[in-house]
Chain A
Amino acid sequence: MAERRFEDLRWPNDDPIVDIPELSVELGERLIVFGPNGAGKTTLLRLIAAIEGEGGTPYASYLPQRPYLFRGTCRANLYLGLGTDARGKAEDLADRLGVGDRLDDQARTLSGGERMRLSLARTLSVDTPLVLLDEPLAPLDLRDRESVAAVIVDALDGRTAMIVTHDRDTAAMLGDRLAIMIDGKILQLGPVAEVLATPTDDTVAEIVGVSNVIDGNVVGRHGALVEIEWGAHRFFALGDHAPGTPVKVLFGGEAVGVHKSLLGESSPRNLFPGVVSEVRETGRLAEVVIDCGSPVVALITPGSLDTLDLAPGSDVHVSVKATAARAVAVGEAE
């Protein structure tokens, strides 16, 4: 697959905050840069946006973490740096992002979330092959994030994007691949679900946690839960999506129970048969990968590992508390 390569992403030269010898971004993908505060994520975007250092590209549209609106109307800010042909698209995006009716107001009257929406509309309207977004969903209310994510994906329209976040839901909603960044370096890079489920080392596991991400379509709603068709299984998770919506379900490895025999009357809704495919003892906890049609990672104590006598090939049942799993709509164009 065609890719865009950045080399010597290092800044500053003495005692660098970011030190990445090489980073390849596949054309058309949405690459999530994920990591704790102070990992150098913002500095990485600034390097790639050619604001800092060398090795970046001026052909990137960059949305800073705290977008700033200048004196004047929202419309003047929306048009800033846009050619006349991009203005219509910007206004359309402002509409879809819920700030279309504020364009004639003074920019200083906008709330933090509205500032981000207006700035997103402008950033996404610039016709550049690479779009860089720094925490685009952070100032938004939780309930609005999915709809804004959908607009972002639609507006990118196949362009390459790098999106910084330290939120797992945002990563799952927006990302194709996930780069884990810690102390200025990228420690792991791969498909979102794979990286969240299988951290390569303890440092990554400690910071990112072990999470499962499964894909499916909503087939029904039951109170606070949605029923999702997941391969041959039905999976229940928190959500309020309409039937037919493609979703991803996120749940931590700690929410997964592993059982040698079927449970009694208190059996959870999410109970699936599977076969242990891998056992990794990575420190104080053990990760057990169970093939239930798709892999599910469980995080258990070494004590349980012994009691259950788990080894590759063991037949088990996997349970997941429905209230510990959350469905998010996949950011795909409608």
Chain B
Amino acid sequence: MDFLADVIQDAVDFLTGSGGELGEVVLLTLVVAGLATTIGVAVGVPFGVWLGLTEARGKALIWTLVNVGMGIPPVLVGLFVLLLLWSDGPLGSLNILFTPLAMVIVQVFLAMPIAAGVTAGAVASLSPDAREQLDALHLPPVRRTGVVVREVWPGVAAAVAAAFGRVVSEVGAVLIVGGNILGETRVLTTAIVQETRQARFGAALALGIVLLVIAFAVNGTLTWLQFRERGVG
């Protein structure tokens, strides 16, 4: 028990005394995960709306690809992006490997399929009457997508929460393309790995608590929005 008590004491000390370094890591985590989620949702949700409504041939194949994308191991995505951005790779001239931008790019690929898949699932449950009405209205695509997103809003909020949850908690891909460079590409998850490897469990636990608080705040907000939209009755 002494061990756990010491770890917890260390965690509290870390949280109260670490100052700027922790702040930098938290800020970078929020910026990278926030940007990646925003881009992933901006592309994934409209795509999910289209996928949920389409009667096109080959839609089963697209559903399958999206489902595979939802479950693809992040390290694998990290490896693909690393190969693309490597100095001798096709996009090596961009010179963005081991930068926050590379981390955003890799996380967009993780967020997009989740946003699309969860949204498409919600849209697919729309009643035939709702689909018929949508067709009858002949709305322009952007307006049509807006109406559908509003109609299945709780499902879209779940998609946003799931996408953010995936990228903020992910470690393999950002480690591969970011490199966990202190002050440059270190985020909460890679920092936890770093501290744990060095047996600084108190610091690792403290970072874990911060990560939990962020996840709780984001999901709490989305859930509140979900329920507010549902209303009473």
Binding site for B on A (CB under 8 A): 49, 51, 58, 62-64, 66-68, 70-72, 80-81, 106, 108-109
Contact pick for A80, options B132, B135, B147, B231, CB 8 Å: B147
In the complex, what's the smallest C-beta–C-beta distance from A73 to chain B, in angstroms?
Answer: 12
Question: Given known contacts A72-B150, A80-B147, is B133 in contact with A67 (CB within 8 Å)?
Answer: yes
Question: Given known contacts A49-B136, A51-B135, A71-B153, is B129 in contact with A64 (CB within 8 Å)?
Answer: yes
Mark out the residues of chain B between 109 and 157 whose CB falls within 8 Å of any chain A CB in the assembled complex: 127, 129-130, 132-133, 135-139, 143, 147, 150-151, 153
Specify which chain A residues have a CB less than 8 angstroms from the CB of B231 in the assembled complex: 106
Complex Cα distance A58/B138, Å?
8
Contact pick for B133, options A68, A71, A106, CB 8 Å: A68
Question: Given known contacts A80-B147, A106-B231, is B138 in contact with A68 (CB within 8 Å)?
Answer: no
Q: Are B150 and A68 in contact (CB under 8 A)?
A: no
Specify which chain B residues have a CB less than 8 angstroms from the CB of A80 in the assembled complex: 137, 139, 147
Q: Are A68 and B135 in contact (CB under 8 A)?
A: no
In the complex, what's the smallest C-beta–C-beta distance from A280 to chain B, in angstroms?
Answer: 42
In the complex, what's the smallest C-beta–C-beta distance from B140 to chain A, in angstroms?
Answer: 9
Contact pick for A71, options B129, B132, B136, B150, CB 8 Å: B150
Question: Given known contacts A80-B147, A106-B231, is B139 in contact with A68 (CB within 8 Å)?
Answer: no
Counting chain A CB atoms within 10 Å of each CB, the highest count among B137, B147, B151, B153 belongs to B137
Counting chain A CB atoms within 10 Å of each CB, the highest count among B127, B135, B138, B231 belongs to B138
Mark out the residues of chain B between 162 and 218 whose CB falls within 8 Å of any chain A CB in the assembled complex: none
Q: Kindly count the residue-residue contacts between A and B in the assembled complex, taking CB atoms under 8 Å apart.
A: 41
Question: Given known contacts A68-B127, A106-B231, is B137 in contact with A81 (CB within 8 Å)?
Answer: yes
Question: Given known contacts A71-B151, A72-B150, A106-B231, is B136 in contact with A66 (CB within 8 Å)?
Answer: no
Complex Cα distance A66/B129, Å?
6
Specify which chain B residues have a CB less than 8 angstroms from the CB of A66 in the assembled complex: 129, 132
Counting chain B CB atoms within 10 Å of each CB, the highest count among A64, A67, A72 belongs to A64
B152 nearest CB neighbor, chain A only: A71
Complex Cα distance A67/B128, Å?
11
Contact pick for A70, options B150, B229, B233, CB 8 Å: B150
Specify which chain A residues have a CB less than 8 angstroms from the CB of B136 in the assembled complex: 49, 51, 62-64
Specify which chain A residues have a CB less than 8 angstroms from the CB of B129 in the assembled complex: 64, 66-68
Specify which chain A residues have a CB less than 8 angstroms from the CB of B143 in the assembled complex: 81
Specify which chain B residues have a CB less than 8 angstroms from the CB of A71 in the assembled complex: 150-151, 153, 229
Specify which chain B residues have a CB less than 8 angstroms from the CB of A70 in the assembled complex: 130, 133, 147, 150-151
Q: List 21 A-B contacts (CB under 8 A).
A: A49-B135, A49-B136, A51-B132, A58-B138, A62-B136, A64-B136, A66-B129, A67-B129, A67-B133, A68-B132, A70-B133, A70-B150, A70-B151, A71-B150, A71-B229, A72-B150, A80-B139, A80-B147, A81-B138, A108-B233, A109-B233
Counting chain B CB atoms within 10 Å of each CB, the highest count among A51, A58, A68, A71 belongs to A68
Q: Are A81 and B150 in contact (CB under 8 A)?
A: no
Complex Cα distance A66/B231, Å?
24
In the complex, what's the smallest C-beta–C-beta distance from B225 to chain A, in angstroms?
Answer: 13
In the complex, what's the smallest C-beta–C-beta distance from B205 to chain A, in angstroms?
Answer: 43
Complex Cα distance A63/B129, Å?
11
B127 nearest CB neighbor, chain A only: A68
- Nearest 8 CB-CB pairings of A with B: A68-B133, A62-B136, A68-B129, A51-B135, A81-B137, A68-B130, A64-B132, A66-B129
A80 nearest CB neighbor, chain B only: B137
Specify which chain B residues have a CB less than 8 angstroms from the CB of A64 in the assembled complex: 129, 132-133, 136
Counting chain A CB atoms within 10 Å of each CB, the highest count among B133, B136, B143, B150 belongs to B136
Complex Cα distance A68/B129, Å?
6
Complex Cα distance A58/B136, Å?
10
Specify which chain B residues have a CB less than 8 angstroms from the CB of A108 in the assembled complex: 233
In the complex, what's the smallest C-beta–C-beta distance from A266 to chain B, in angstroms?
Answer: 52
